[in-house]
Structure 1
Amino acid sequence: MIEIDVSTERGIAVVVPRGRLNMVAAKRLREALAEVVAGGTHRIVVDLGETTFLDSSGLGALVSGLKAARQAGGDLRVARPTPEVLAVFQLTNIDKVLRPRPDVASAFDV
């Protein structure tokens, strides 16, 4: 089971999925990101520092969140991917679209 924490500071939402981001958890992440955008926060950082696994469903949830944020005039960025998550990003070339940042603060230069 994944745990997803959401906090907002200075107009930027930080979403932290903890655990395995698989098919079951991806639905929860997709809903959390949609709620953030619907709530009026369009700049989002997904902190992947505590995400131990990522599959195609997890990638789909991130891309869905990116699309929603950009359609609302904002952006979604990722920070602190674990080596396992970074490997998936590189294998799928999604790291060209969702360029990982080393930490949350540098994602939007907070």
Structure 2
Amino acid sequence: MELSLTTRTVGEHTVLEVGGEVDVYTAPKLRERLIELIDGGSRKVVVDLGRVDFLDSTGLGVLVGALKRLRPAGGTFGLVCEKESLLKIFRITALDQVFPIFPTVAAATGAEPGGPSGAVPTA
């Protein structure tokens, strides 16, 4: 399945909407786009996984790598995810303790209560 990547700006945040499957074949495309955004000056990055059907360990590694790249620059990195199948992956790997995970882009960007000052619990 093809990976779709769409970028938009919401306030001070760069939102990367991801669709399709993030796996060993498509993860390099996601990695390249995240590096472009961060190296291009984006410091508040939100990855919207709302249209992602599948996420494997390679995809998780890409997300962790982006977080590690952004932190030294003083940036923030959040995920938007409501799909139980994906949330389960984050819980099993304990990455729900690493990434702030929000139910909506509005919550992740501070446009609604529960915004970036604190993620909505996923458990």
TM range (shorter): over 0.9
Distance in 2 of aligned mates of 1:99 and 1:12? 14
Q: What residue ranges of structure 1 are gaps of 5+ in the alignment?
A: none
Runs of 4+ deviating beyond 3 Å? none
- 1:21-66, Cα deviation, whole Å (9 max, x unpaired): 1111111111111111111111100001101111100000101111
Q: Secondary structure at the match of 1:78?
A: strand
> Is the 1:42–1:73 contact (alpha carbons within 8 Å) kept by the matching residues of 2?
yes
Which of the two has higher C-alpha Rg? 2
Aligned pairs for 1:31-110 within 5 A? 31-110=32-111
Q: Partners in 1 of 2:51 and 2:61 — Cα distance?
A: 18
Percent identity of equivalent pairs: 36
So what's the TM-score if we normalise by structure 1?
0.93
Residues 1:30 and 2:31 are matched in the alignment: yes
Q: Is 1:80–1:104's contact at 8 Å kept on the other side of the alignment?
A: no
1:13–1:45 Cα contact (<8 Å) kept: yes
Partners in 2 of 1:29 and 1:20 — Cα distance?
11
Secondary structure, counterpart of 2:59 in structure 1: helix
What are the ranges of 5 or more consecutive residues in structure 2 without an aligned counterpart? 112-123
Q: Which amino acid aligns with 1:39?
A: G
Q: How many residues align?
A: 110
Q: Distance in 2 between matches of 1:27 and 1:35?
A: 12
After TM superposition, give the deviation of residue 8 of structure 1 in Å. 2.0
* Root-mean-square deviation over aligned CA pairs: 1.2
